[in-house]
Amino acid sequence: MFESVRTRFTDTFGDARGVEVTMAPGRVNLIGEYTDFNDGFVFPMTVDRGAYVAMCPRTDQRVSIVSVRYEERIEYALDQMPKVVPGHWSCYVLGIIEELRKLNLVTGGFDVVIDGDLHLGAGLSSSAALEMATALALQGAFGFEMSRIDIATLCQRVEHQYANVLCGIMDQFASGLGRSGHALLLDCRSLTHVDIPLQLGDYRIVIMSSEVKRALASSAYNQRRQECEAGVALLKQYEASVTALRDVTPDLFEAHATKLSSTIQQRCQHVITENQRTLDASAALLASDFHRFGELMTASHVSLRDNFEVSCDELDYLVELALGTEGVLGARMTGAGFGGCTISLAHKDSIDTLAHQLSHYQARFSLTPGMFVLKTNLEAGVISP
Ligand code: ADP
Ligand code: MG
């Protein structure tokens, strides 16, 4: 990717002196689903693919952006941002540029080429990777001070305001702060985080893509947010210190659960137990207790399927196929659900068998699933030649 994005830059803009290539990776969430906007815990890791941005400052105020993936070019004067179309690839890039310009941190024109090797829209957070890579490239080009946490928060704001996606902080945080060889346990309330070494021994993280478009995801996502808020509003009456589901202990929940409607009860049950599973899973990984880690992953899936109701037949079947394979310790859907990917913790000797299982999926749903085994995971930054 590095070579191809750089070559494309030279072909498009000429002389490549002063051009820098910045990469930010996508992420996969090991466990802790739908906990982020409840002020809870998440446990993502970066993957081995990402968004790549080649950038070089210009001497004038022109901004010229080329997307290799979409074969499109956008040009404008820095202080005259074109109309943003939410969801179009440029909304993420324009949003980052505009927010940094308004802060007076980006003050001149520049040329950019954007590419990437992540699956787009598959739940690996290519949008957060694109935002983060753009922001870090601009930081390199204009040399301003801003912490990675503040950059992640700015990227999240762009996703809200320019893409109209009300995401939590996990994706941008994981892309910007996730370290190679580690997973990242993040407290979404305080933003304190711990890098947990990914020493998996003979086990591997396997990602399978259902190839199902997440058509329902955004409306269901907003609905789940509201349902969680409804749970908080009710439980707060019994314990004033509750401001998010994060604050609801299992005991408090047990004591008052029956006062909630059955739907709200199920949603709260998921979030409260998932927070605990996330903490337990990070401790299990640290202790190299892979069996426990796998059990928690599977329990997370069951809760997302039955209580939070964000899975779908295709994801359930991929999880079933994985769990039916000897040597697989756990499997779950990952991301917002209704499509996207699953992850499994699989012994390295079981991976070929697992790959063969996918023909059953293809036969049942007439979809060709993708599968890849994470061998390394990347961290965001400027890439040296
Ligand atoms: P996800 O973040 O799960 O991959 P989203 O729908 O949030 O899915 O974001 C995907 C969108 O992000 C793509 O449709 C595209 O507009 C944009 N995008 C991500 N990466 C790139 C890239 N390398 N080049 C151009 N656009 C990209
Ligand atoms: Mg996204």
**DSSP output for 28-70:** EEEE--S-GGGT-EEEEEEEEEEEEEEEEE-SSSEEEEEETTT
- Average pLDDT of the residues of the chain: 95
Q: What number does the ligand 1 atom closest to the CA of 68 have?
A: 24
Beta bridge partners of 26: none
Residue 222: its pLDDT value, please? Answer: 86
Dihedral of CA atoms 8, 12, 17, 22 in degrees, nearest 10, equals -50
Quick one: pLDDT band at residue 215, thresholds 50, 70, 90?
Answer: low
Distance 88 CA to ligand 2 centre (A): 12
Average pLDDT over residues 78-101: 97
Question: Which residue minimizes the CA distance to atom 2 of ligand 1?
Answer: 125
Domain 2-197+378-383 top-level CATH class: alpha beta
Supply the pLDDT for residue 347: 98
As annotated, the active-site residues are 171
Of ligand 1's atoms, which has the minimum distance to the CA of residue 163? 7
| 55 CA distance to ligand 1 middle (Å) | 19
Residues within a 6 A CB radius of ligand 1: 51, 67, 69-70, 89, 92, 114-116, 120-127, 130
Cα of 126 from ligand 1 centre, angstroms: 5
How many whole angstroms from 128 Cα to the centroid of ligand 2? 6
Write out pLDDT tens, residues 48-78. Answer: 999 999 999 999 999 999 999 999 999 999 9
Nearest CA to ligand 1 atom 27: 89
- In the reported structure, the alpha carbon of residue 177 is separated from the centroid of ligand 2 by a whole-number distance in angstroms of 17
- Closest C-alpha to 97, from 119, 68, 130: 130
DSSP per residue, 208-252: EE-----TTHHHHHHHHHHHHHHHHHHHHTT-TT-SSGGG--HHH
- Indicate where the chain has its CATH 3.30.230.10 domain(s): 2-197+378-383
Nearest CA to ligand 1 atom 12: 127
Under 8 Å between Cβ of 130 and 193: no
pLDDT at 16: 67
The mean per-residue pLDDT over the stretch 346-350 comes to: 98
Please state which of the ranges 19-23, 165-169, 249-253, 317-321 shows the lowest mean pLDDT.
165-169
Pick the residue whose CA is nearest to atom 6 on ligand 1.
Answer: 121
Q: Of the bound ligands, which one is closest to the alpha carbon of residue 214?
A: 1
Place of tokens 């990717």: 1
| pLDDT per position as a tens digit, 134-184 | 999 999 999 999 999 999 999 999 999 999 988 889 999 999 999 999 999
Q: Where in the chain is the domain with CATH 3.30.70.890?
A: 203-374
pLDDT, position 216: 65
Q: Say which ligand is closest to the CA of 68.
A: 1
Which stretch of 79-93, 134-148, 219-233 has the lowest confidence by average pLDDT? Answer: 219-233
User: Which of 288 and 17 is assigned the larger pLDDT?
Assistant: 288
Taking the C-alpha atoms of residue 152 and residue 157, their distance in angstroms, rounded to an integer, is 9
Measuring from atom 25 of ligand 1, which residue has the nearest CA? Answer: 89
Task: State which fold the 203-374 domain adopts.
Answer: Alpha-Beta Plaits (3.30.70)
pTM of the model: 0.94
